[in-house]
Amino acid sequence: MWELIRLNKRNSVILFLVMAAVLIGLGIIIGAAVHPNGLILGGLVALVVWLVLATISLSSGDQILLAASRARPVTKQVHPQLFNVVEEMTIAAGLSRMPRIYIIDDPAPNAFATGRGPQTASIAVTAGLLAKLNRDELQGVVAHEISHILHRDILYVTLAGVMLGAIVLISDLFLRGVFRSSAYGSSRRYSAQARRTPAQVQLVIILLAVAAAILAPILAQLLYLALSRQREYLADAGAARLTRYPEGLASALEKIANDPGPQLSVATKATAPMYIVNPFKRGLGYLTSTHPPITERIRILRSIGNSVSWAQYAKAYTQVTKRSLPYRLHDEPLPVRPGQEAGPVASPSAQHRQAGDLIRRMNGFRFLTCPCGLVLKIPPNYTLGHIKCPRCDRLLDVPEPALASR
């Protein structure tokens, strides 16, 4: 596992530098296209942009990604089981600090982890995930995310997410500018320079810049993809090791993949690779997909057998995919523990109600159980000290509104 962490740290540095090279190269060529002497200026501007981005993504990249996914921090009262499961996995992984917990108000089941390192990590899960999974499955998903934290994948993903977003943005801006100026014929602005540089040379440079602007985001994304798929497999292996129960994650992945509902609405191209399962249901093909095929992941987890370890997972991986993992990991096999009784799965309508209650609890609703069995859900702006039960007409005391988590 130490080899894995070292490798990931090295990959993060490589990614950081390659993204810098792509960004500065893009700056130089766009600078040259805009102005014949803009070569150095373009490069400098890109360097500054990169430095600013690097600072931002290192200091608050996780907050940006969480905000972009509309994730909200929650307290233990909102979902005690989620907190307990995260704490259990924190203990199993031997992390010194429990990650902060966020919930995304979306019915599509999914989850991700972000942060710089184990000390500043956060885990976000959707309300749909909490409603649809049982305890063992939730534990599998949380263990997968904790493994990302443990393997230092989160720094890489956070950096890549912010940098990739910036490269896409700059290319987009430039391409739009080129098309607009050519459409309105505003190239007259550059007529003074055009006299000094032959028009053809300038045209070639502009064409080059357009090509670079189109290729740079693709290049950056490919680089990102090349490494992110292996990480998913390794996080699955880590989850099996932490829980000692690969079936939990396997069955969770199955449920997420077969979810009939609409896809996650808050996911974007830059944030999609963070999630445990690709949030885009259709469109992206295998080559451009950031995630390995989910059926393959499930099959590997189910063919692990009776003892979990890196070596055992690697064996199952080879057995299912006929390839081998690019990492050599040695460790002792550890016995699989029996699953806890999962309990009956709630009906779809009950799941729907659970998800709704969760959102209400996040929004400061108070829940009151009347002795007659009716559960009253009191909105945060209800200020009276008591309420009449609509079923049995009993007068009930309303607890003080709890501080809504912000």
User: 284 CB contacts (<8 Å, ≥6 apart)?
Assistant: 278
Whether the CB-CB separation of 122 and 62 falls below 8 Å is answered with yes
Specify the residue, 41 or 368, whose C-beta has the smaller distance to other proteins.
368
CB closer to other proteins out of 96 and 383: 96
- What's the CA gap between 348 and 354, in Å, rounded? 10
In sequence order, what are the beta bridge partners of 100?
122
Distances (CA, A) of 213 to 121, 171, 174, 184, 360: 33, 5, 7, 21, 45
> For residues 189 and 394, which CB has a smaller minimum distance to other proteins in the complex?
394
- Of 180 and 328, nearer to other proteins (C-beta) is 328
Least distance to other proteins, CB of residue 2, Å: 9
Element (DSSP H or E) covering residue 254: helix 246-257
Cβ-based nearer residue to other proteins, 137 or 236: 137
CA-based torsion, 180, 183, 185, 187: positive or negative: positive
CA distance 268 to 24: 24
Measured between alpha carbons, how far is residue 397 from residues 60, 214, 357, 388, 394 in Å? 43, 63, 20, 9, 10
Rule CB under 8 A: which residues touch other proteins?
80-81, 84-85, 87-89, 91-94, 96, 134-135, 242, 244, 332, 334, 337-338, 340-341, 343, 369
DSSP state of 117: S
Nearest approach, Cβ of residue 350 and other proteins (Å): 13
CB 136 within 8 A of CB 254: no
Q: C-beta of 276: minimal distance to other proteins in Å?
A: 20
Is there a catalytic annotation at residue 145? yes
Annotated active-site residue in 88, 137, 145, 332? 145
- In angstroms, what is the minimal distance from the CB of 115 to other proteins? 21
Q: How far is the CB of 87 from other proteins (least distance, A)?
A: 7
Active site residues: 145
